[in-house]
């Protein structure tokens, strides 16, 4: 089958199921998409791991540890799909310093920085438990929106992994909201949460990428994406408003 024939097949909603029937251009976009997810999960887990001991009480520490563990597991599940395309799984997660962060006030464009593929938001450092909780809620909501998009990916093995991961990422948001409600019970906690929302909100928003993205056009043509960046960003923004306004944080 020629690449043009596969383009027509994908344009009609066709699915691919094996590296053997994936054309080179499709493979390149698929690997980039997977690497971005894996690197972001590994960097996210490294950031949250540093805050586990800052969490108040055993229950909150268990929740923070569970989120960290499951982000590593999610990275491993997608990395296994990359391994079917020849990625060296044994070396991959040791290739970069996932805990490395840039300055808190760095002005990072919504693009890749450094030599890994993490989203730009994961280059910013987390400052303590309350900051981690707010970041987890805002980025967790973004991850759910992005997984809803990727669950319909034309590469079936990856779509199945994302459908498996999505409920656990949703649970991470619930755990974050529980922690946030506890933080908001004091004036000091409410002020800290408000500062963190102001800090993280634009940085998470930037993780959706540019409007009218040319790369989205390619991903859409291959059936790997179905909704443009600006539409996903607005879905996320509305969910943030719906959750945070009743808390007095939006």
Query: 42-46, 105-109, 151-155, 158-162: which has the minimum mean pLDDT?
Result: 105-109
Residue 33 lies in a domain: yes
Residue 210: give the domain boundaries: 21-100+119-247
More confident position, 250 or 23? 23
pLDDT for 4: 55
Residue 230 lies in a domain: yes
Residue 1 lies in a domain: no
139 and 200 in contact (C-beta within 8 Å)? yes
Q: What is the mean pLDDT of residues 186-206?
A: 97
Q: What is the mean pLDDT of residues 31-51?
A: 95
Task: Mention every residue, 6+ apart, whose C-beta is less than 8 A from residue 136.
Answer: 48, 67, 172, 173, 175, 176, 179
CATH number where 227 lies: 1.20.1260.10
CB atoms within 10 A of CB 188: 9
pLDDT for 11: 82
Residue 160 lies in a domain: yes
83-103 pLDDT tens trace: 999 988 888 877 889 999 999
Residue 29 lies in a domain: yes
Residue 46 lies in a domain: yes
Q: Can you tell me whether residue 54 is helix, strand or coil?
A: helix
Residue 77 lies in a domain: yes
Q: What is the mean pLDDT of residues 75-80?
A: 96
Residue 223 lies in a domain: yes
205 and 237 in contact (C-beta within 8 Å)? yes
Buried b (16+ CB within 10 A) or exposed e, 63-75: bbeebbebbbebb
Q: What is the mean pLDDT of residues 195-222?
A: 94
Query: 9-18, 172-181, 223-232: which has the minimum mean pLDDT?
Result: 9-18
- What residues does 155 pair with on adjacent strands? 16
pLDDT for 107: 87
Q: Residue 244 has which token pair? A: 């945070």
Domain count, the chain: 1
Which residue is it, tokens 């391994």? 83
> What is d(CA 64, CA 135) in angstroms, rounded to the nearest whole number?
12
């Amino acid at each position: 089958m020629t690449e043009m024939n596969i383009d027509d097949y994908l344009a009609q909603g066709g699915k691919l199921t094996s590296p053997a029937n994936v054309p080179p251009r499709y493979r390149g976009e698929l690997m980039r998409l997977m690497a971005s997810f894996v690197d972001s999960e590994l960097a996210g887990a490294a950031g949250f791991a540093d805050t586990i001991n800052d969490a108040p009480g055993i229950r909150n520490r268990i929740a923070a540890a569970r989120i960290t563990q499951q982000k590593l597991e999610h990275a491993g599940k997608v990395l296994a799909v990359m391994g079917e395309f020849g990625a060296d799984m044994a070396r991959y997660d040791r290739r970069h310093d996932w805990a490395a962060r840039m300055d808190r006030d760095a002005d990072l464009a919504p693009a890749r920085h450094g030599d890994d593929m993490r989203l730009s938001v994961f280059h910013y450092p987390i400052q303590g438990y309350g900051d981690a909780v707010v970041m987890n809620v805002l980025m967790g909501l973004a991850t759910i929106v992005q997984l809803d998009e990727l669950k319909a990916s034309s590469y079936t093995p990856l779509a199945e992994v994302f459908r498996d991961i999505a409920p656990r990422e949703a649970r991470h948001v619930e755990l974050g909201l529980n922690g946030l409600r506890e933080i908001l019970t004091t004036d000091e906690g409410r002020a800290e949460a408000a500062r963190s929302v102001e800090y993280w909100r634009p940085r998470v928003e930037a993780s959706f990428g540019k409007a009218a993205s040319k790369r989205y056009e390619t991903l859409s043509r291959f059936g790997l994406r179905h909704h443009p960046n600006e539409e996903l960003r607005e879905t996320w923004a509305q969910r943030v408003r719906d959750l945070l306004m009743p808390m007095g944080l939006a």
